[in-house]
Amino acid sequence: MLCDPIQSRRLFEHALDNNYAILAANADSHAAVTDCLKAAKLCDAPLIIETSLWQLEGHSYGAGDAIRGLARYIADLAVLADSPEYRSIPVVLHTDHIKGPETMEILSAAIRGIPVTITGNSTTLRASTVSLDASEFSDEENIAAISRLAAIAVESNVDVTLEMESAVDEGITPEEVTRNLIGSVEEKYPNAVCLYAPGLGTRHGFSAEGYPEFNSETVQRNIRMLKEITGRDIGLALHGSSGLSSGDLRDAAQAGVVKVNWSTESLMIRSRGAMTFYEDNAAKLDRSHGDWKVTAMDNGVQSHISPAYVDKVSERMRIINSEGKASDFAQTPGA
Ligand SMILES: [Zn+2]
């Protein structure tokens, strides 16, 4: 079931209350989306699918037009997530790492909804939750941008659930920065921000030496501080999880991380899977070979990649304690 902004917010609260995190897979293709849903179904785990500017503008989705890409991404995901096979799995569609001059235009569309017409029937496609890439913003620019997104929702009379981030690759975010960022938005737009991504000592990409700065006490301290500032229970989003050990991931979920972003390792598994498929089957890609068509078709390479990828996604879902939580969430009021 593809969640709306309010269902998504309840799901994050459920994760925080029950000491688990939800895997947020940056799914780079239609096939990756399918495999993430397969893993979620296998684990009975909620799932966040993230899409970033590079997919929205990329060849498989928007082909140069990010808003068209977002509509295509949501439509594809909605068909799958609301199909009988996957309806029991709560799925959140989150916009991640949107940056650059088109940011507000893309995110306004994600919040208000993108009108589409399918054989004469009109509908509106909305993201479940929204964040932007604040890595090049000052704190004041970050506050202004998040406040603007909250204002767009108010003006359009729609719900919004936002993630706010702070210099996620630059060490541990100082307490006064969090107080300023979250406090300033909360004052004007209470309840809009429901996920916070502070710097926790991790970084995007792989890390050979791990992240010695990462510590679940930092997570707990942030959760306490967010409660003090807003009066609400707000869970954390963890960026840069690919280089984190299983033990640290488990502790993070236990301590209050509710969303674990996962992208680098996902790309590596899929691209290496494709490489071995084409290497192993190079001789079949010859017109004289009886299997050349089944080898050449997209289904060939994607079916080869799928088992190892589904295994890895399932493994991460188990590490962050989300196994069985889709059914648990379905039993909560308002799910
Ligand atoms: Zn990130």
- The rounded Å distance from CA 165 to ligand 1 centre is 9
Unique residue bearing structure tokens 């970033």? 52
Report the relative pairing of strands 235-238 and 257-262 from DSSP bridges.
parallel
Please, which residues bridge with residue 236 across strands? 196, 257
- Which structural domain, as residue segments, surrounds residue 107? 5-266+310-330
Is residue 42, in this structure, part of any structural domain at all? yes
Quote the crossing angle between the two packed helices 66-81 and 103-112, to the nearest 10°.
30
Nearest residue to 127 (alpha-carbon basis) of 145, 113, 148: 113
Number of helices (H) and strands (E), helices first, in the chain?
A: 13, 10
Is residue 50, in this structure, part of any structural domain at all? yes
Is residue 67, in this structure, part of any structural domain at all? yes
- The rounded Å distance from CA 280 to ligand 1 centre is 34
pLDDT digits (tens, 9 = 90+) for 219-240: 999 999 999 999 999 999 999 8
- The rounded Å distance from CA 93 to ligand 1 centre is 15
Is residue 175, in this structure, part of any structural domain at all? yes
- The rounded Å distance from CA 170 to ligand 1 centre is 12
Is residue 230, in this structure, part of any structural domain at all? yes
For residues 195-230, b (16+ Cβ closer than 10 Å) or e, as one string?
bbbbbbbbbbeeeeeebeebbbebbebbbebbeebb
The predicted pLDDT at position 208 comes to 75
Is residue 295, in this structure, part of any structural domain at all? no
> Residue ranges of the chain with pLDDT lower than 70?
334
The predicted pLDDT at position 212 comes to 83
The predicted pLDDT at position 171 comes to 85
8 with 92: CB under 8 angstroms?
yes
Report the relative pairing of strands 91-95 and 129-130 from DSSP bridges.
parallel
Is residue 208, in this structure, part of any structural domain at all? yes
pLDDT digits (tens, 9 = 90+) for 263-314: 999 999 999 999 999 999 999 999 999 999 999 999 999 999 999 999 999 9
Total count of domains within the chain: 1
- The rounded Å distance from CA 50 to ligand 1 centre is 10
- The rounded Å distance from CA 290 to ligand 1 centre is 44
Q: Check which CATH number belongs to the domain holding 187 and give it.
A: 3.20.20.70
Is residue 78, in this structure, part of any structural domain at all? yes
- The rounded Å distance from CA 84 to ligand 1 centre is 31
What is the C-alpha separation between 132 and 146, in angstroms, rounded? 8
